[in-house]
Amino acid sequence: MRMLHTMLRVGDLDRSIKFYTEVLGMQLLRKNDFPDGKFTLAFLGYGPEETHTVLELTHNWDVTEYDLGDAYGHIALGVEDIYKACDTIKAAGGEVVREPGPMKHGTTVIAFIKDPDGYKVELIERS
């Protein structure tokens, strides 16, 4: 078994694709409209779906925002230099909601950013 993707529902697909490609450096791998169901799926990632876990963005055409609820946690991305990554994200218009630093009760250096729909993305410094 292998994890294939994680799905998020988004209110503005173009805005979300722009965030994940321009701010986080992912590639848009494919995008498909389903007119009968009135939704679009976009798959993004750091490599091909055949070998990498990817992010699926689902846009239901008649919905512009979602209640994120209190069960959702975050997506995590590994980065080499978390301070540089946060500076790059800020320069690209991204919002860092927890500056880089050691996690509570540990030594792993983490930061959190927020995507345009309010989903949290954790950055973990990997050495």
Asked whether residue 70 is assigned to any structural domain, the reply reads no
Query: What are the φ/ψ torsions at residue 125 (nearest 5 degrees)?
Result: -75, 125
Asked whether residue 54 is assigned to any structural domain, the reply reads yes
Work out the average pLDDT over 60-65.
95
CA-angle at 40, arms to 36 and 42, nearest 5°: 150
Q: Could you confirm whether 122 is annotated as catalytic?
A: yes
Residue 7 has a CB neighbour count (10 Å cut-off) of: 12
Asked whether residue 112 is assigned to any structural domain, the reply reads yes
- How sure is the predictor about 5, in pLDDT bands with cuts at 50, 70 and 90? very high
pTM over 0.75: yes
- Looking at the fold, whether 83 and 120 belong to one and the same domain comes out as yes
pLDDT tens digits, one per residue of 72-103 = 899 999 999 999 999 999 999 999 999 999 99
Range of the domain at 35: 5-60
Question: Which candidate in 49, 95, 122, 125 is catalytic?
Answer: 122
- Looking at the fold, whether 9 and 53 belong to one and the same domain comes out as yes
Residue 123 has a CB neighbour count (10 Å cut-off) of: 23
- Looking at the fold, whether 49 and 86 belong to one and the same domain comes out as no
- How sure is the predictor about 127, in pLDDT bands with cuts at 50, 70 and 90? confident
**Alpha helices (H) in 1-127, listed in sequence order:** 13-18, 82-91
Question: Could you tell me the two tokens for 101?
Answer: 């630093």
| Distance in angstroms (rounded) separating the CA atoms of residues 10 and 40 | 10
Query: Could you tell me which of 1, 93, 8 has the C-alpha nearest to residue 42?
Result: 8
